[in-house]
Amino acid sequence: MIKNKGMNVKISQSLMKAYNEYKSERLCGLLFKAKYLDRNLPFVTSPSMQEGIYFEYLATGSLPKSGEIPEPEYTLKKELKEPYKRIVQAVELFKKIFTHYDIKILEKGYTLQNDEKSGVLDILAEWNGEKCIIDLKYSGLIDDKWNELGWELNSLSEKDGLMMQGVHYKMLAKEILGIDDIPFYYFIFNSKNPNDMKIVKQHVDEDRYFFHQMAINKTKEGIEKGLYEGFKAYPDYRKCIECPMFENCEVKAEFPLINEVYY
């Protein structure tokens, strides 16, 4: 557990992903600290994230991190916009699938945490007579092989950023719920086609748990070092002008920097 200004910082899989982005200089350290450690920035979502949040709300009733009820978007004629029409249809498919497989929802938006790490389960369910974890995805990349967030089946085993979640949650279930090797499923709904979805059950090799724990330890050590020495800023004009900290940031890039390429 990491102490940060009186708060207990527990390692979640989203925190680990963000820290990896920071270490690879794709995420400014000042933004990382403000967003994931101080948590003093407003909750900002992209249009695709808003659609995913609305889908999950309609499907399970779970509220987003902001705690506010998500609202759909309407046309000037007060009709649902096409993306939200697809969401309504996708939720109907969600309900049919749960009925067909006789999946019973036990908990939704269920937090698992101990002194070291945490995670919020979309759904803790009972399926085939045993408890399982179901994570909902609403994505336009359901068959994308090359995007790091794509869900093409043959490439999933190489996408640590996606598969990390299942490892993290299965570890939490073992440590907190006492369930060894709990079944973990991704239910991926296609945001471009409301009649399309796929179910992926993630099996985890025993060695993965060891390496994931090592990654947790490395993340903890890195954050502790950053809190002591400070996190590095990575000013980039294109990112800075979109940053919620832009107005008051002392190291922001207000103009494009010169990039050099040798050929």
Rounded CA separation 29/118 (Å): 22
**5 pLDDT more than 70:** no
Q: What is the per-residue pLDDT for 148?
A: 94
Least confident stretch, 12-21, 57-66, 96-105, 171-180: 57-66
Q: In the prediction, which pLDDT does 42 show?
A: 72
pLDDT in tens, 58-100: 999 998 877 889 999 999 999 999 999 999 999 999 999 999 9
Q: CA-CA distance, 206 to 188, in Å (whole number)?
A: 25
How many structural domains does the chain have? Answer: 1
- What percentage of the chain exceeds 90 in pLDDT? 89
Amino acid sitting at position 209: Y
**Structural domain of 251:** 1-41+231-256
Is residue 1's pLDDT more than 60?
A: no
43 — pLDDT class (breaks 50, 70, 90) = low
The per-residue pLDDT for range 125-156, each reduced to its tens digit, is 999 999 999 999 999 999 999 999 999 999 99
Per the domain annotation, does 37 fall within a domain?
A: yes
Least confident of 9-13, 40-44, 123-127: 40-44
**Residue 229 to residues 10, 25, 217, 250, Cα–Cα distance (Å):** 20, 17, 18, 18
Predicted confidence at residue 63, as pLDDT, reads: 85
Asked whether residue 146 is domain-assigned, the answer is no
Identify the residue with better confidence: 73 or 2: 73
Looking at the domain assignment, is residue 148 inside a domain?
no
Provide the pLDDT for residue 3. 55
pLDDT tops 80 at residue 4 = no
Query: Domain for residue 248, yes or no?
Result: yes
The answer as to whether 32 is a domain residue is yes
Whether residue 262 is contained in a domain is answered as no
Positive or negative, the CA dihedral 68, 12, 177, 183 is positive
Q: Is the pLDDT of residue 239 over 90?
A: yes
Instruction: Please give the mean pLDDT across all residues of the chain.
Output: 93
Convert the pLDDT of each residue in 195-224 to its tens digit. Answer: 999 999 999 999 999 999 999 999 999 999
Does residue 10 sit within a domain? yes
| pLDDT at residue 65 in the model | 79
The backbone region for 31, taken as left when phi is positive above 0, alpha when psi lies in -120 to 50, beta otherwise, is alpha
* Residue 121 maps to a domain: no
**Structure pTM?**
0.90
